[in-house]
Amino acid sequence: MNESSPRAAPLIHNDEIDAVTLEVLRNALEATADEMGAVLRLTAFSPNIKERMDASCALFDADARLVAQAEHVPVHLGSMLSAIGVTMKTVDVLEPADIIIVNDPFIGGAHLPDVTLIAPVHLGERLIGYVATRAHHADVGGMEPGSMPGNSREVYQEGLVIPAIKLYRRGVLVEDVLRLILANVRTAEERRGDLNAQVAALRVGERRLKELAQVYGAASLTRGFAEILDYAERRMRKRLAELPRGTYRAEDALDDDGTSEEPVPIKVTVTLDSDGMVLDFAGSAPQCAGNINAVAPMTHSAVFFAVKILTDPSIPVNAGTFRALDIRIPEGSVLNARPPAAVCAGNTETTQRVVDVVLRAFASLAPERVPAACQGTMNLIGIGGRDPRSGNPYTYIETIGGGQGGRPMGPGQDGIQCNMTNTMNTPIEALEVTYPLRIERYELREGSGGAGRHRGGHGIVRAIRILGHEARVSLQSDRRRLAPYGLRGGGDGLPGRNYVLDKRGTRHPQPGKVTLTLNDQEVVVVETPGGGGWGSVS
Amino acid sequence: MIAPEVRELRVASDVGGTFTDNIAYDGATGRLTVAKVLTTPDNRAHGTVEGLKRALALQSRSGADVAYVGHGMTTATNAVIQRTGGRIAFVTNAGFRDILLIGRQNRPSLYDIEKTRVAPLVSREDCYAVGGRIDADGREVVPLDESELGRIAAAIGASGARAAAICFLHAYGNPSHERRAKEILARALPGSVICASTDILAEYREYERASTAVLNAYLVPIMERYLGSLTELLSAPEGLALPKGRPIMVMEASGGLMSLDSAREKPVHTVLSGPAGGVVASAYVSALCGAHDIITMDMGGTSTDISLVLSGKPEVTSQASIAGIPVRVPVIDINAIGAGGGSIAWIDEGGALRVGPMSAEAMPGPACYRRGGRRPTVTDANLVLGRLGAETRLGGDLTLDVEAARRAVAKCVADPLRFDVVSAAAGILKVAHANMSRGIRVVSVERGHDPRELTLVPFGGAGPMHGSPLARSLGIPRLLVPPTPGILCALGMLVSDLRHDLIETHLGRHEDFDAARLQDIVSHMQARARNLLEADDIPPQRQRVEVSVEMRYVGQSYELAVPLLSPDAGSWARMPAAFHAEHRRRFGHADERAPIEVVNFRVVAIGLITAPQLPRPESGSASPPDAARIGERRIFFEGAATEAGSWFACPVWRREALLAGNELAGPTVIEEISATTVLYPGDRARIDAVGSIIVEVGHE
């Protein structure tokens, strides 16, 4: 019955990937990244990955260029993008079914708790791509529980540094490597569970990528990857072309680096022309003694985030999306630090400020799209000690939402995660069941949002009581002195503040970045900043 | 009391957004009649009564003969989405007034700053905080401040709020403060609805529990009004004239039925119940022909609802949400995707062909509907490729304009891509299938289920046209197209059982539960379950109570349910092995050394309602009767991933004339009033005893 028809053209014209195959393949790749994320979330052990999904999964082509990712926190957005290629260059011999593990910031591009696993995908002996998962582990050793110390001065204090080494060799676990890692962390069983979950996610990604290579053929798949990158680039360039050309400058600063009270300035000059956009961070502070140093991929993430807000959030992110961007960061600066700088808060705090600075520069470029400054910090709190109920060590970490900046289209939202993070809170009941802690307050910090035609969002007050033991508490926060800015006549948001209530209820103010020892019944209180207002009130 | 006999007249009415589907089924004669009427938005009960009267009239019966009424509606769902409820209050612990507003602290979109998170159903000035605190072990740390509560009651009364929800921290472990607060508020606010969180679910995680309680309090007044009007109209002489005392059952989102009284008290269970009937009916029909593990795919004009049924039971989740608000009651786990027959094909600025999520909806509809639509849709692509025929009458009366469909596909897709019209239409289907296939993967592979072991059950007007290519791309070996795929939801209300769900959080290591504690928890919950069934007039021999325990590895925060056959030491000792096995099945790995912790005990109380026999087609031989073949048309079938497709001459069959035992080979098409089933080359189909089309999907 089969009638051949001259009217039906083939869907793949020789070497070209057509509009249909492009969309079908993109869906398949994104579905794979999603599926990897689902496996990771379902099988992980720690609440930080399962409940808060502080993790990302991604697929790369054979040249280690990102083709699809399912990211759940924007700070992973760009850091995976460039860092996997860098990582793979440090690996000498790569064999099928190997798994590389890395958390060295100066290779992998993220702070130490973000442990990345990468697996090459081979069809026979031919390398067709890579799959990777990155997850924030609740502890990777170092001087403080939670591996986010408030006062580190060198990366070595922040935890175990893992260069790009093999966790699996030809499909077989390298037991010695795992034992070494687990011997250097506080909660070994949880780490083992989370690493297993990451491996399970890689296995799924690997299987799906192989299936795709079998359906399309390895050569067509490679061309498909290249077209997907070009597609994202085309969409981004179209959007950039709609913006007014010119040069725009902005400056902002972090309160301090945790070792002094000196502000840490960050500057950007944005030039938009027909070739694309240049972002030059010349004039930003040199790398500093404290732990707010960023490595370049972290800074890239923050830039990509701001550009995505400015253009079209629906453009898929891959190695083509940001080709139109030329990001220049002085080496040895706080935005592109060299080893052995301490970097753990570079991820969480400095990236927030980079977004603020870039958006501020964009504010004159596209005033109808850019909000006032948000809380500009993640308010990371880490508490660790020995649970008096079981005698076992525990580690709890959490970031706290604050005020969003007033937006051109309406008020900033109250008590919400902003910019580079979007992790969920740990439910109070889950937290109190799991840890020897009691939450005393978790509510909005009224009056903290900046005034404006569109008010800035209010911050949050979170108060945590220590129960029956001595605990180490680390705080990494900023915008405690320098307020989130208002835009177009809107008022600034109220800076945040941290303090401890002793047993008598006396208040002891604390700096933004600090590590403390607290005793039974003492309470640590974090009041997060409000967002800036947008537009003048009258 | 619900009679166990099935030789009686039962009716069901399913109120949807546009249409209200009604069926009447006489168990004595086996006659099933259907009436589709337009939904009456002012008072949806009017459409139900009108539709049921018509369905009954078709077999010359009246309301007085009816033994049983099943009812499904979207009243609760719509009330939440459209926010039509009145002012309500929320009471919680001092220091936590904003827990509803803060939610889980995350924003709805990572990068889109225009997206604002959903506002709670309670405004901030109606949220009250009162002194008092229970700790994680259920001990009172701070006594309840009753005098403060008195002042709060006065403030609520003055505010005009007519309903209030209470949620205190750790009430799942010790509800004494919630109960006391409820007493105080109820006494101070007579006539108001007061809902304590643990009345709905005694499960930990405060935000989700609070939000579910608030949702319930919000819906009670609305549901009392609606159900009051419904029962009045059903029993009124000028209405259906239904005799007093005949059971009226309401569909809940879990796929079970609830009594009218339960629905008034806990309307939150009816939120998201819209698609549940179709899933239940699919599971029922599939089980009749031995397919117990299925994926249901209900494809309509704007969206497709996909769900998984294992061992004949719809997968139920307690992680659902509606319009951004979490609903922690059991809900059939449905993945709704924005791909339907009306989904519009377009080329984005990067040059990729996209389909949806925008839809032409009913107005103007696809270009081929002759209602002014100019943009090509999935339906237009189906028409260009011959899947639908120009002579096909959608819904019985609408004829299709092939030239309009070709023009739309040419102008918006083929010309800009420099494709011919046929390739463009085939491309539209490929992209639509890619979206839908992703939606099916979410409920199957992403949850650890291998599609090769499942049967795909497509229904809804557009589903049976797309089942075969989706099954191929996912490696699903078999399709089952149920009879009358257009009215499956209403059928669900005749075949479902009555159901109550109970949940209690009891945290602890598995080994810490001794036989006495276990016995205490389970027997207490079972007694509650039986009381509920008795209140529904379910006799003991028709009661079934199932206990399961939600467990996890210590440190994990997602639980897996494992059935507990009996609350004795022996069964308890076997639970870890069952848990490891379930963990391995779902996630591919298990850790036999890791300690296990118990989180929740769940009890499902079921009142068995004997389902009626479905009407059966007459038996025939393998070759279909000549009368069933109504024509032939040319249909284009797309090739595999990298291949072109081609045209085939295909016979067209009328489903109503096919007989049990008939066999058909693809490529072919089977038409009926409400749907068209397309078989691809290589597919082999058989009509089974109840009239389902069973398709063995061909390999490419």
Q: CA-CA distance, B685 to A157, in Å (whole number)?
A: 67
Answer whether A498's CB lies under 8 Å from A525's CB.
Answer: yes
Q: What is the pLDDT of residue A8?
A: 37
Q: Give CA B369 to chain center in angstroms.
A: 29
* Mean pLDDT (whole number) for A303-331: 94
Among A227, A193, A276, residue whose Cα is nearest residue A65? A227
- Which of B96, B101, B107, B113 to probe the A interface (max A CBs under 10 A)? B113
Q: Give CA B512 to chain center in angstroms.
A: 37
Three-state secondary structure string covering B230-245: HHHHHHCCCCCCCCCC
- Which of B105, B203, B554 to probe the A interface (max A CBs under 10 A)? B105
| E strand or H helix that includes residue A75 | helix A75-89
- How crowded is residue A79: how many other Cβ atoms within 10 Å of its Cβ? 32
Q: How far is the alpha carbon of A151 from chain B, nearest alpha carbon, in Å? A: 27
- Per-residue model confidence as pLDDT tens digits over A453-508: 999 999 999 999 999 999 999 999 999 999 999 999 999 999 999 999 999 999 99
Sign of CA dihedral B317, B321, B326, B327: negative
Q: CA-CA distance, A258 to B493, in Å (whole number)?
A: 65
- Per-residue model confidence as pLDDT tens digits over A407-426: 999 999 999 999 998 888 98
DSSP state of A535: S
Q: What is the pLDDT of residue A84?
A: 87
Bridge partner residues of B686 (DSSP):
B663, B694
- Chain A to chain B, count of Cβ pairs less than 8 Å apart? 251
Please identify which residue in the block is written with the tokens 């939904």.
B39
Among B15, B14, B230, B189, residue whose Cα is nearest residue B91? B189
Q: CA-CA distance, A159 to B588, in Å (whole number)?
A: 31
Residue B695 neighbours by CB under 8 Å, 6+ apart: B467, B468, B471, B478, B479, B480, B481, B666, B679, B683, B684, B685
DSSP string, B524-563: HHHHHHHHHHHHTT--GGGEEEEEEEEEEETT----EEEE
Q: Helices A188-216 and A19-43 meet at what angle, rounded to 10?
A: 160
* Mean pLDDT (whole number) for A308-329: 94
Peptide bond into A340 cis (omega under 30): yes
- The residue with greater pLDDT, A448 or A75, is A448
Residues from chain B that touch A24, judged by Cβ atoms under 8 A, are 430-431, 434, 641
Chain length of chain B: 700
Question: Sorting pLDDT into bands at 50, 70 and 90, what band is A15?
Answer: low
Among A95-104, A284-293, B499-508, whose mean pLDDT is lowest?
B499-508
Share of chain A above pLDDT 90, in %: 80
Among A30, A232, A276, residue whose Cα is nearest residue B348? A232
- On the question of pLDDT at A449 being above 50, the answer is yes
Task: Dig out the tokens for B666 from the structure.
Answer: 């693809």
CB contact under 8 A, A11 and B643: yes
Question: Sorting pLDDT into bands at 50, 70 and 90, what band is A5?
Answer: very low
Task: Dig out the tokens for B43 from the structure.
Answer: 């008072």
CB contact under 8 A, B431 and A1: no
Answer whether A232's CB lies under 8 Å from A320's CB.
Answer: yes
Q: Give CA A201 to chain center in angstroms.
A: 19
Three-state secondary structure string covering B309-354: EECCEECEECCEEECCEEECCCEECEEEECCCCCEEEEECCCCCEE
The low-confidence residues of chain B, meaning pLDDT below 70, are: 1-6, 393-397, 557, 586-589, 640-643, 700
Characterize the bridge pairing of strands B478-481 and B455-459.
parallel
Q: How far is the alpha carbon of A19 from chain B, nearest alpha carbon, in Å? A: 5
| E strand or H helix that includes residue A166 | strand A165-169
Q: CA-CA distance, A427 to A527, in Å (whole number)?
A: 18
- Per-residue model confidence as pLDDT tens digits over A173-219: 999 999 999 999 988 988 998 999 999 999 999 999 999 999 889 99
CB contact under 8 A, A428 and B420: no
Residue in A31, A308, A428 nearest the CB of B441: A31
Q: What is the pLDDT of residue A293?
A: 97
Residue in A3, A232, A423 nearest the CB of B646: A3
DSSP state of A477: -
SS3 of A110, please?
Answer: coil
Please identify which residue in the block is written with the tokens 């308890």.
B572
Q: CA-CA distance, B58 to B25, in Å (whole number)?
A: 11
Q: Give CA B16 to chain center in angstroms.
A: 13
Q: What is the pLDDT of residue A13?
A: 45
- The end-to-end CA distance of chain A, in Å, is 76
- Which of A12, A18, A23, A422 to probe the B interface (max B CBs under 10 A)? A23
Residue A213 to residues A24, B299, B320, Cα–Cα distance (Å): 14, 30, 35
Q: CA-CA distance, B335 to B308, in Å (whole number)?
A: 9
Three-state secondary structure string covering B556-618: CCCCEEEECCCCCHHHHHHHHHHHHHHHHHHHCCCCCCCCEEEEEEEEEEEECCCCCCCCCCC
Q: How far is the alpha carbon of B226 from chain A, nearest alpha carbon, in Å? A: 35
Bridge partner residues of B371 (DSSP):
none
Residue ranges in A347-464 assigned as alpha helix (H):
351-363, 428-434
Chain B residue whose CA is closest to A308: B111
Q: CA-CA distance, B285 to B495, in Å (whole number)?
A: 9
Please identify which residue in the block is written with the tokens 């937290």.
A431
CB contact under 8 A, A415 and B105: yes
